[in-house]
Amino acid sequence: MSTYYNSEDLKKFGSIGAFGAKNLADDFFKYYGDVFAEGALSSREKSLIALAVAHVLKCPYCIDAYTTDTLEKGCSEDEMMEAVHVGAVMAAGITLVHSTQMINKAKELTM
Amino acid sequence: MNPVKSLKARKHELGESAFQLEVLNDRLTLGKHLPLFREKLAPIDLFPLKPTEIDIFQVNVGKMCNQVCKHCHVDAGPDRKEIMTQETMQLCLDVLKKHKFRTIDLTGGAPEMNPHFRWFIEQIRAIDNDINIIVRCNLTIILANKKYHDLPEFFKQHRIEVASSLPFYTATRTDSQRGDGVFEDSIKALQMLNAVGYGQEGSGLILNLVYNPAGAFLPSGQAGMEKEFKRALKAKYGIEFNHLFCITNIPISRFLDYLLVSGNYSEYMEKLVNSFNPTAAANVMCRTTLSIGWDGYLYDCDFNQMLDLKVAGKAKHLRDFDMEALTQRSIIINQHCYGCTAGAGSSCGGEVAK
C-alpha cells in the first residue's frame, strides 16, 4: 500500500544530497548540527523546542525523531508534554491574534 | 506491570543463554542485514580484542535480588538461588593476595543478599586497605529488611564506593522499569546514605548514581543528564550525589525479551550498529576488567557471564587463575557487544568516549 509518510524514510533524510544540490544539503546539515550543539541553550532545551515545533508544523518524521531525542536526553514525560502545550498555545494564540485584523476589517466595512 | 518471576523460573526460552545467542545471531529475525561485531573491529585493528591492563576485579556474588527489573541482564530476582559460597570467595581472596588490582567491583543480583557479603568485604579490606571497593547497590535492599538498615554505616566503615541504580528522577519512569514503589524506597535509601555522609562534599564517601534508559532508546549526554538529576533530586528531595553514570541497555536476557515482545528489537539493534564508535570500542571495559561468576568461573565482562561465554584459554576458573594467560587472551565478543560501543560508549563506569 502506498502512503505519503513512511517511517523508514526518516533514515534517508541525511542522504538527500545524493539526489542533487549536494552543496545546499551540506550547508543545511552543517547549520542543523551547529544549531543543535550546546550553546547558550543546552542541547536538551533545544530538543524540547524542536519537539514543540514538530507538533506545530505537524511533521511525523520530526515527532518521531524528537520524541526519541528528548527521551535520550533524559526529558521527563511532563517536560515533553508541556513543550507540546507551549506549541499548541502558541498556534492557538497566533490564530486568535489574527482575529484583531478581522475585527479591524469588519469595523472598517460595517456601520 | 513488571514480571514477578525471572525468565529462568518461568522456564522462558530466553532464560537460556544459548537461545539468547541464537536470537542475537539470527540475522533473518532482524529482517535486515547487520554486520557481525568482529567485522566492525577488524578495520580498526581491534580484532582480536585484547586486554590492555587488567585492573578491575568484578565479582558477581549471586543472582538473588529483591527486585525483578524489566531490563535486568542478570535475570535476577528473589527466585534465583545462585549465590557465591564462602569457599569461592576465599578463592577470590587468594587471587587478591597475589595480584594488585585498582578496583574490586561487587555486583549481583543484590550483592548484599549474599550471607557472606560483609565477611567478604572485611577480608578484602584486611588484604588491601587502599583498594577501591565498589558495591553496586540497588538502594531498595537497604529498606527491604531490618537487617539491612545499617548498610550505609557498614559501607562508611569500610570506605565503600556506592554505585546505585536509579533509572530516572521521577517515580513513573523508575517504577515502570523496576517495580511499583521502587522510586519511593530508592529516595529514602539515598537520604539514608546522605545522612551518614555519602555524596557530601569533603566526606570522601562516594555515591554515584547509575542511569539506564527505561525503554528502547539510548542514553545521551552524561554530563547534561547528571546536571538534571542533581537539580531535580536536590530540589525535590534534598539528595546529593557525586556522579551519574549513563549505561546503555544490553540486548540480552530480560531486556532482549522486552525488545522482542515490544517489537523494538530490530530497530534497537540497527541503532546500536549505526552508532558504533571506534573510540568507544578502543576503551571498552572488558579490556581492563575480569568478571568472576558466582561459581568461580572467569568471564570478560558481566554480560558475557550471563551468556555463559567463559574466558578463552585453559584457565577458566579461579582455581586455575593464571594472570599471564589472562593478560594475553583474546576477549570473547558477540553481537551484544554493540551495546558497549554505541555513541559515547557504555561501561559500568558510564561513558567511555567523548
Q: What is the pLDDT of residues B257-292, one digit of tens each?
A: 999 999 999 999 999 999 999 999 999 999 999 999
Q: B307: which 3 cell numbers?
A: 551468556
- Domains of chain A plus CATH, in order, are 7-110 (1.20.1290.10)
> Is A76 in contact with B215 (Cβ distance < 8 A)?
no
Strands B103-107 and B298-299: unpaired
- What pTM value is reported for the model? 0.92
Average pLDDT value for residue range B224-232: 95
Which member of A43, A72, A77 has the closest CB to residue B217? A72
Instruction: Say how many CB pairs under 8 Å bridge A and B.
Output: 39
Q: Kindly state whether residue B2 falls inside one of the protein's structural domains.
A: no
Domain that holds residue B47: 7-341
| pLDDT of residue B26 exceeding 60 | yes
Q: Kindly state whether residue B64 falls inside one of the protein's structural domains.
A: yes
pLDDT per residue over B229-259, tens digit each? 999 999 999 999 999 999 999 999 999 999 9
Cβ-Cβ contacts under 8 Å, B225 against chain A: 73-74
Flag whether residue A71 sits within 8 Å of chain B, measured between CB atoms: yes
Q: Kindly state whether residue B286 falls inside one of the protein's structural domains.
A: yes
| pLDDT of residue B1 exceeding 70 | no
CA distances, A55 to each of A5, A11, A12, B312 (Å) = 15, 19, 21, 52
CA distances, A14 to each of A17, B30, B151 (Å) = 8, 23, 52
Rounded Cα distance between B354 and B336, Å, is 22
Distance from CA of B24 to the nearest CA of A (A): 22
Flag whether residue A72 sits within 8 Å of chain B, measured between CB atoms: yes
> Is A69 in contact with B220 (Cβ distance < 8 A)?
yes
Which member of B172, B215, B225 has the closest CB to residue A74? B225
| pLDDT of residue B44 exceeding 80 | yes
Strands B161-165 and B132-137: parallel
> Is A42 in contact with B172 (Cβ distance < 8 A)?
no
Which member of A44, A69, A77 has the closest CB to residue B224? A44
> Is B213 in contact with A44 (Cβ distance < 8 A)?
no
Percent of chain B with pLDDT over 90: 95
Average pLDDT value for residue range B300-321: 97
Q: B196: which 3 cell numbers?
A: 551518614
Of B274, B290, B270, nearest in space to B332 by CA? B290
Flag whether residue A7 sits within 8 Å of chain B, measured between CB atoms: no
Residue B292 three-state SS: strand
Q: How many helices (H) and strands (E) does chain A have?
A: 5, 0
Are the CB atoms for B337 and B25 separated by under 8 Å? no
Domain count, chain B: 1
Distance from CA of A68 to the nearest CA of B (A): 7
| Buried-exposed string B1-38: b where 16+ CB fall within 10 A, e elsewhere | ebbeebbbbeebebbebeebbebbeeeeebeeebeebe
CA A66 to chain centre: 9
Rounded Cα distance between B50 and B329, Å, is 7
Average pLDDT value for residue range B328-336: 97
> Is A73 in contact with B213 (Cβ distance < 8 A)?
no
Q: Which amino acid is at B87?
A: E
Over its C-alpha atoms, chain B yields an Rg (Å, rounded) of 19
Q: Kindly state whether residue B316 falls inside one of the protein's structural domains.
A: yes
φ, ψ at B112 (rounded to 5°): -65, -15
> Is A77 in contact with B170 (Cβ distance < 8 A)?
yes
Residue to substitute from A13, A72, A79, interface B, most B β-carbons within 10 A: A72
> Is A73 in contact with B170 (Cβ distance < 8 A)?
no
The number of residues in chain A equals 111
pLDDT score for B33: 82
**DSSP letter, residue B200:** -
Distance from CA of A91 to the nearest CA of B (A): 29
Here the CATH number for the domain that contains residue B155 is: 3.20.20
Can you list the alpha helix ranges (DSSP code H) found in chain B?
17-25, 27-30, 37-41, 86-98, 117-127, 141-144, 151-157, 171-178, 182-195, 222-237, 253-262, 265-274, 278-282, 302-306, 323-328, 338-341
Q: B56: which 3 cell numbers?
A: 578491575
Tell me which H or E stretch contains A32.
helix A22-36
Q: Which amino acid is at B130?
A: D
> Is B228 in contact with A44 (Cβ distance < 8 A)?
yes
B168 to chain A: nearest residue by CA?
A74
Query: Prior bond to B213 cis, omega within 30?
Result: no
Name the band, by pLDDT with cuts 50, 70 and 90, for residue B174: very high
| pLDDT of residue A34 exceeding 50 | yes
Distance from CA of B220 to the nearest CA of A (A): 5
Flag whether residue A74 sits within 8 Å of chain B, measured between CB atoms: yes
CA distances, B34 to each of B215, B249, B337 (Å) = 21, 19, 13
Are the CB atoms for B239 and B187 separated by under 8 Å? yes
Name the band, by pLDDT with cuts 50, 70 and 90, for residue B220: confident
Cβ-Cβ contacts under 8 Å, B219 against chain A: 72, 74
**DSSP letter, residue B73:** S
Flag whether residue A43 sits within 8 Å of chain B, measured between CB atoms: yes
End-to-end CA distance of chain B: 36
| pLDDT of residue A77 exceeding 90 | yes
Q: Kindly state whether residue B289 falls inside one of the protein's structural domains.
A: yes
pLDDT score for B3: 60
> Is A73 in contact with B169 (Cβ distance < 8 A)?
no
CA B271 to chain centre: 21
pLDDT score for B23: 94
Flag whether residue A69 sits within 8 Å of chain B, measured between CB atoms: yes
Tell me which H or E stretch contains B248.
none
Q: Kindly state whether residue B161 falls inside one of the protein's structural domains.
A: yes
φ, ψ at B53 (rounded to 5°): -135, 120
Cβ-Cβ contacts under 8 Å, B221 against chain A: 43-44, 72-74
Average pLDDT value for residue range B135-151: 97
Can you tell me which residue has the cell 546522605? B194
Which member of A38, A73, A76 has the closest CB to residue B170? A76
What is the arrangement of strands in the sheet containing B56-60, beginning at the earlier edge strand?
A: B244-246, B207-211, B161-165, B132-137, B103-107, B56-60, B289-292, B298-299
Rounded Cα distance between B222 and B215, Å, is 17
Cβ-Cβ contacts under 8 Å, B211 against chain A: 74
If one counts every other C-beta atom within 10 angstroms of the C-beta of residue B122, the result is 12
| pLDDT of residue B327 exceeding 80 | yes
Q: Kindly state whether residue B352 falls inside one of the protein's structural domains.
A: no
Which member of A42, A69, A77 has the closest CB to residue B224? A42
